[in-house]
């Protein structure tokens, strides 16, 4: 393999960070249509109800979305007919404390921290979470989400209704 190809294929932390920040920005702006395009065909968006299950597919999650479910979810949130998201809460999130946990020719895996503040009807709520990302490079060079796991700090405890994406 030529050196040049390898350099374009490897995903640097800086690239991954920029990608994750752009994703966070889309979500805070409720810009779900371009967000749907950030995913691989088989990508999984998971928000668990336990800290570290052996297999997410075999346990109950808050969200366990494949492509079809993500599309349905975005459609629901944008429809204007869902009482909990019309009007939606305002959110501001930051993602930081990145640690690369694995990387290879065309992928990178990271963990990170997300601090999200939600505001609606006079309530201010905080939803801190541990994040895990698997990001891959598509043949056209773009980065795509292959897995995003949002483990809320209180994943196993009670939540309030959440009418937006984490």
Rounded distance between C-alpha atoms, residue 155 and residue 128, angstroms: 10
Residues near 29 by Cβ (< 8 Å), separated by ≥ 6? none
- Check: CB of residue 152 under 8 Å from CB of residue 113: no
Q: Does residue 162 touch other proteins according to CB under 8 A?
A: yes
Pairing label, strands 39-48, 143-152: parallel
Tokens of 9: 């294929």
Given a contact cutoff of 8 angstroms between Cβ atoms, the answer to whether 28 and 93 are in contact is yes
Site string for other proteins, 45-84 (x = CB under 8 A): --x-x-------xxxxxxxx----x--xx-xx--x-xxxx
Q: What mask, x for binding other proteins by CB under 8 A, covers residues 6 to 45? A: ----------------------------------------
**Do residues 145 and 132 lie in contact, with contact meaning Cβ atoms separated by under 8 Å?**
no
Instruction: In angstroms, give the least distance from the CB of 133 to other proteins.
Output: 19
Binding-site size, other proteins (CB under 8 A)? 32
Binding-residue pattern over the window 111 to 150 for other proteins, x denoting contact by CB under 8 A: ----------x-x---------------------------
Partner residues linked to 112 by β-bridges:
131
Task: List residues binding other proteins (CB under 8 A).
Answer: 47, 49, 57-64, 69, 72-73, 75-76, 79, 81-85, 121, 123, 156-163, 166
């Amino acid at each position: 393999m030529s050196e040049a190809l390898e350099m374009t294929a490897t995903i640097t932390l800086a690239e991954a960070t920029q990608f994750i920040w752009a994703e966070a920005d889309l979500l805070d702006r409720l810009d779900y249509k371009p967000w749907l395009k950030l995913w691989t065909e088989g990508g999984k968006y998971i928000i668990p109800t336990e800290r570290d299950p052996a297999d997410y597919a075999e346990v109950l999650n808050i969200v366990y979305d494949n492509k079809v479910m993500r599309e349905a979810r975005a459609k629901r949130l944008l429809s204007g007919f869902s009482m909990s998201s019309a009007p939606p809460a305002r959110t501001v999130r930051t993602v930081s404390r990145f640690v690369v946990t694995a990387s290879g020719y065309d992928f990178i895996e990271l963990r990170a921290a997300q601090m999200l503040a939600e505001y609606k009807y006079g309530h201010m709520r905080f939803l801190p979470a541990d994040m895990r990302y698997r990001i891959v490079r598509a043949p056209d060079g773009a980065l795509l989400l292959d897995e995003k796991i949002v483990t809320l700090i209180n994943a196993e405890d009670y939540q309030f209704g959440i009418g937006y994406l984490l």
